Copies of this chain bind each other. A is one copy, B any other.
Amino acid sequence: MSVTLGHNQYGKAETRVVRVYRDSDPHEIVDYNVSVALSGDFEEIHRTGDNSNCLTTDATKNTVNAFAKEYSEAARQPESFGIALAKHFVDDTAPVTRARIKLEMYPWNRLSHDGTPHPHAFARDGGYVRTATVTYDGTNLWVVSGVQDYVVLKTTDSEFWGYLQDKYTTLKPTHDRVMATSVTGQWWHTDSEADWAKSYDSAVATMSSVFAGHHSLALQQTMFAMGEAMIAEQPEIGEVRFSLPNKHHFVIDLSPYGLENPNEVFHADDRPYGFIEGTIHNDLHKDAAPAPNQAFDPGQGW
């Protein structure tokens, strides 16, 4: 019986580093959750426990923390912070041939004091998490931006009817329903240099605007329209991937109590939920090589 070591990676996950920029007034703050995954010449670690090629996960954590100071400007945006880290691990550590940096960035809003913005007090903005994933193999660099936990809802302009009927189909068609989802989206940049803050804001604004204005016949259709518009506005985007749970809001039957319910009172259900996932490719970059599959997070790296 013989076995072979296949794909493997390791590193420190979820380093929670907060960087305060306090040499100017007002203070600024960035708040990250950084996960590092390294691949390379690690066969002996697995076979014999010989760690001579092993950069410790503790050192990868230290590097994240140190780079928040050393690469102070890069650390202001998750994409540029990830690029600095990924290049370091591959270029400066002999056994490492590939690095994957996954960053979650938690946004904060400035607090008010006596009616004016305060220079060093903040409240966490829990409305979404900004993400970036940077993958580097010594030659190729893939930068993927994203958003997660972005919960949106529209109270009308959503229909669902005309679907396939099988033995197990009992759903009633509707021409007016609440549509809600918690957006997890990722988009791959074919250009690895950009104004990341501006690009991110534009991408989220575009998907939000389309979600609001789209007259929906299916969540899939709205998802596709969102991706299409993001690509139209930023043509350097090569591909957009979405994972959209359909957060069901069921109309409650109030007739037993003598009440009408014309789409006014809903039960927000937990489980099960429809789950819609899809990829929208920009044809402009369809022949781009190498393919970005490994650049997306595993949960979206179909």
Contacts and interface: CB of A to CB of B under 8 A. Distances in A.
A139 interface: no
Contact of A218 (B5, B49, B127): B49
A283 interface: yes
Given A121-B211, A149-B126, A163 B3 contact: no
A203 to B, nearest CB: 14
Interface string A42-78: 1001111111111111111111011011100000000
Interface in A256-292: 256-257, 259-284, 286
A275 B264 CA distance: 27
Nearest to A114: B209
A236 to B, nearest CB: 12
B269 A112 contact: no
Nearest to A227: B3
A155 B220 contact: no
A221 to B, nearest CB: 4
Interface residues of A, number: 152
Q: Chain A binding site: helix, strand, loop or mixed by DSSP?
A: mixed
A113 B5 contact: no
A191 interface: no
Contact of A257 (B53, B62, B164, B252): B62
Contact of A274 (B10, B109, B254): B10
A164 B55 contact: yes
A216 interface: yes
Contacts of A153: 29, 108, 121-124
Nearest to A128: B126
A267 B15 CA distance: 8
A169 B221 contact: no
25 contacts: A3-B231, A4-B281, A6-B279, A6-B281, A9-B278, A10-B220, A15-B272, A18-B265, A19-B265, A22-B155, A45-B220, A49-B221, A51-B217, A54-B218, A56-B163, A56-B169, A57-B274, A65-B252, A65-B265, A111-B209, A118-B212, A118-B213, A168-B256, A270-B270, A298-B302
